């Protein structure tokens, strides 16, 4: 009989599918680890490469090339402000009425006393006609009163002689004297009435004149605030009425008003020369001088208002234009004020390379050696006649071994 254990040995098998799966999983993890290590190595190599590249760049100080006027080389202080007319007015009417005439537009030149506009004046003219009629009536009464006085005076003088000769009764003389006095009083009363009527006529004439809106001084019309047909009232008494009809300004009184810090006001004095540049005309410089330092400070801004008068002005200068004022420490010659702006750099940016003066212009993270033609010294700067443009950046105090292509980085201040 066969041994039963022989049948059990036949069941023994090696499960190769499970081993294959284990080997496959292990191989995948190996690939992932290999890629991770490779990535780390690449990143580390790039890090050390770039760190070495950056650390090899030379730290330098830079300066932006600017263009200034020769007068600005004598600058003490710079401030911003606005052009303001020192003589300007919002012209309104003294009376209330409908506007029937407007004779000016914006920009018109007007003379002192010129009629700018007119209100409806029918009622005022009617009142004036009535007042003048009252004057004429009282004058007619005066003629009658004077005639009565003349007759009473003659009778009184005659009766005075007759009573002295006792040719008339005393009662008749008394009656003649009373008549004379009444006639004289009547003349005085009528003369007073004429004065009252004439005053009323003058008032009516003023009322008519008040319907004419006149220019208080010679100037230029800046704005027109009302049109024909609108109601005009003094001080804009009604929400539906207009106050100022036009606004005018004397363009010869234009000055720049600039705020100067309290800490710098001691550097400014009346009569100090200035250079004015309007933002609208950057290439034009106007000479001027400090005309007034307002004797009060603005506590909110900690500034003092300073007024600068134009020494020369043209028709392009308009009220409310923004301006920059450069306060100078000495009178700038006319040729300096009128000459074009000049390119300047600090002298520390210029080095000698043989017989040539050069600067190192920054281009991204490297420099380019650039020859220049140097001019005169303007204040603490050096004029550059050729080779540079405003807005470029140059290296200050370049090292002796600096050359084109050298890597640089700006020094952090």
Per-residue pLDDT of the chain (413 residues; tens, 9 = 90+): 445 444 554 555 555 555 545 555 555 566 666 766 767 766 765 655 555 444 467 888 888 888 777 666 667 889 999 999 999 999 988 888 899 999 999 999 999 999 999 999 999 999 999 999 999 999 999 999 999 999 999 998 998 888 888 888 889 888 989 999 999 999 999 999 999 999 999 999 999 998 999 999 999 999 998 899 988 887 655 555 677 899 999 999 999 999 999 999 999 999 999 999 999 998 788 999 999 999 999 999 999 999 999 998 899 999 999 999 999 886 655 545 556 677 888 888 899 888 888 999 988 888 888 898 888 777 778 888 888 888 898 999 888 888 888 888 887 65
Domain with CATH 1.10.287.470 in the chain: 122-209
Q: Where in the chain is the domain with CATH 2.40.420.20?
A: 59-70+341-410
pLDDT score at 255: 96
CATH of domain 72-86+251-338: 2.40.30.170
CATH code that applies to domain 59-70+341-410: 2.40.420.20
What per-residue confidence (pLDDT) applies to 345? 86
Tell me the whole-structure pTM to 2 decimals.
0.61
Q: Where in the chain is the domain with CATH 2.40.30.170?
A: 72-86+251-338
Superfamily in which the 122-209 domain is placed by CATH: Helix hairpin bin (1.10.287.470)
Distance from C-alpha of 217 to C-alpha of 252, rounded to nearest angstrom = 12
Fold of 90-120+211-249: OB fold (Dihydrolipoamide Acetyltransferase, E2P) (2.40.50)
């Amino acid at each position: 009989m066969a041994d039963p254990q022989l049948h059990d040995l036949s069941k023994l098998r090696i499960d190769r599918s499970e081993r294959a799966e284990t080997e496959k999983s292990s191989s995948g993890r190996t690939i992932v680890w290999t890629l991770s290590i490779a990535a780390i190595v690449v990143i580390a190599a790039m890090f050390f490469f770039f760190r070495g590249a950056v650390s090899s760049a030379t730290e330098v100080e830079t300066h932006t090339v600017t263009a200034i006027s020769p007068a600005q080389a004598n600058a003490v202080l710079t401030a911003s402000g606005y052009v303001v007319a020192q003589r300007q007015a919002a012209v309104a009417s003294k009376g209330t009425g409908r506007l029937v005439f407007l004779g000016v537009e914006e920009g018109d030149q007007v003379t002192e006393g010129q009629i700018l506009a007119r209100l409806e004046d029918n009622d005022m003219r009617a009142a004036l006609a009535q007042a003048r009629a009252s004057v004429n009536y009282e004058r007619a009464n005066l003629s009658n009163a004077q005639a009565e006085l003349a007759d009473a005076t003659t009778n009184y003088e005659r009766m005075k002689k007759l009573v002295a000769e006792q040719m008339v009764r005393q009662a008749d003389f008394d009656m003649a004297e009373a008549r004379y006095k009444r006639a004289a009083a009547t003349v005085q009363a009528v003369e007073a009435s004429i004065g009252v009527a004439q005053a009323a006529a003058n008032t009516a004439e003023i009322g008519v004149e008040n319907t004419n809106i006149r220019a208080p001084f010679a100037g230029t019309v800046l704005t027109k605030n009302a049109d024909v047909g609108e109601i005009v009232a003094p001080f804009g008494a009604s929400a539906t009425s207009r106050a100022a009809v036009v606004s005018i300004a004397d363009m010869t009184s234009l000055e720049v008003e600039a705020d100067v810090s309290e800490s710098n006001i001691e550097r400014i004095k009346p009569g100090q020369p200035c250079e004015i540049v309007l933002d609208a005309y950057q290439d034009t410089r106007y000479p001027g001088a400090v005309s007034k330092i307002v004797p009060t400070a603005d506590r909110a801004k900690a500034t003092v208002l300073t007024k600068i008068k134009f020494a020369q002005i043209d028709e392009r200068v308009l009220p409310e234009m923004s301006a920059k004022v450069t306060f100078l420490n000495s009178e700038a010659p006319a040729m300096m004020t009128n000459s074009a702006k000049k390119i300047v750099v600090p002298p520390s940016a210029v080095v000698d390379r043989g017989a040539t003066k050069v600067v190192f212009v920054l281009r991204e993270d490297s420099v380019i050696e650039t020859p220049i033609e140097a001019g005169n010294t303007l204040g603490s700067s050096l004029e550059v006649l050729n080779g540079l443009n405003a807005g470029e950046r140059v290296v200050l105090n370049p090292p002796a071994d600096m050359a084109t292509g050298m890597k640089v980085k700006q020094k952090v201040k």
